[in-house]
Amino acid sequence: MMKRIRINAGKIGLVFKNDDYKRVITEGNYWLYPFETVVQYDMSRPFYPAIELNLLLRDEALAKHLQIVEVKDNEIALQYEDMNFKGVLTPGKYAFWKGVVAYSFVKADLSKIEITEAIDLLAIKRKELVPFVRVCKVESFENAVLFVDNKAEKILGPGEYYFWKNAKEVAVSRVDLRQSQLEVSGQEILTKDKAALRVNFYAQYKVTDVTKAVVDNKDFQKQLYVFMQFALREFIGTLTLDELLESKETISQYVMNSLKAKAEDLGVEIKGCGVRDIILPGDMKEIMNQVLIAQKKAQANVITRREETASTRSLLNTAKLMEENEMLFKLKEMEYVEKIAEKIGEITVSGNGQVLDQLRGIFAPGAK
């Protein structure tokens, strides 16, 4: 017995008889023969057939209604519907109905590292792509070396980088390009006269060649530290303790000149260096303090003797002047009398008028 069915707009039907595919029917009214059934599909959704897709594609009429996407091994395909990202297709064969939704696809080759496909950044950051993408961030004050299978590929400047995940080993080695400081603290060194001391020294440096610093050298900071140690030992070992203390400002210049060529081989430029401290052992410090005290005492004695000599010479010159000038002598006497009078509260005069004659005799020029 025949039966009538209708296929509405946006739908499509596959006719089966005894589970065998027979034909495709589109929008409209149809009669079905006995034992025939219809499976209807929404053309706005991907096509998931009930039987093997390859068997259905033998029908050219059906194939014209389908858009087939094949994703190979080591590939993925980004699915867009009406230009909007919808999902990721992994390896396999997919079918989509034509006519209702505008499907588009971007295939990506996961066997390479670089993302060269025309994929916008927002799509790359979608959660659907997270399992397939490596992310590397290089700060604004950094450069980085990209290693692929332990081989240096290129230098990465500041920014955010995305790479496909695959069997290849990918690593990024970052280098800080800001000016940095390296310190040698408490370095024990013997001077030429076998005096043991400790030196705190610092050097300011900046990485100028990332390839030399990371690829050509291992642990360039440790190497720079050792070069600083050697330069300090080499310079201090040629001086006695006294010579070192007198010319300690020359240490930094010597170390800087010594490090210049070696630092360039490390991809580093020395910006400046200097001595922070020279620390003497306890017994040596006590001896140096005693020497310093003795030197200061000797200097103080010299100054005292010099002042005493000057004072005596001044007194001698004054005595000579008073000897030659009687009036000057009288003025000096009056000065002393004035100083004495300042400390006297009252004066009692007696002597039957002879006191005035005595005072007149004291202050009158030529009196004896």
Q: What is the pLDDT of residues 96-116, one digit of tens each?
A: 999 899 999 999 999 999 999
| Cα Dmax for the chain | 181
Tokens 């998931």 belong to 48
Q: Percent of the chain scored above 90 by pLDDT?
A: 59
Full-model pTM:
0.65
pLDDT band at 276 (very low <50, low <70, confident <90, very high): confident
Q: Following CA atoms 310, 314, 315, 319 in sequence, which dihedral angle do they give, to the nearest 10 degrees?
A: 150
Greater model confidence, 271 or 314:
271
Contacts of 344 (CB under 8 A, 6+ apart): none
Q: Is the pLDDT of residue 344 over 80?
A: no
> What's the pLDDT score for residue 296?
58
Beta bridge partners of 200: 277
Q: Which residues of 153-179 are buried (b: 16+ CB within 10 A; e: fewer)?
A: eeebeeeebebbeeeeebeeebbebee
What pLDDT does residue 338 have? 67
Mean pLDDT, residues 44-71: 93
Q: Is 29 exposed, middle or buried (0-12, 13-18, 19+ CB in 10 A)?
A: exposed
- Of 133, 123, 129, whose CA–CA distance to 88 is shortest? 129
Three-state secondary structure readout of 132-199 = HEEEEEECCCEEEEEEECCEEEEEECCEEEEEECCCCCEEEEEEECCCEEEEEEEEEEECCCCCEEEE
Q: What is the pLDDT of residues 137-161, one digit of tens each?
A: 999 999 999 999 999 999 999 999 9
Phi-psi region of 278 (alpha: psi -120 to 50; beta: other; left: phi over 0): beta
Q: What is the DSSP string of 76-101?
A: EEEEEETTEEEEEE-SEEEEEESSSS
Using CA atoms, how far apart are residues 42 and 9, in angstroms rounded to an integer? 9
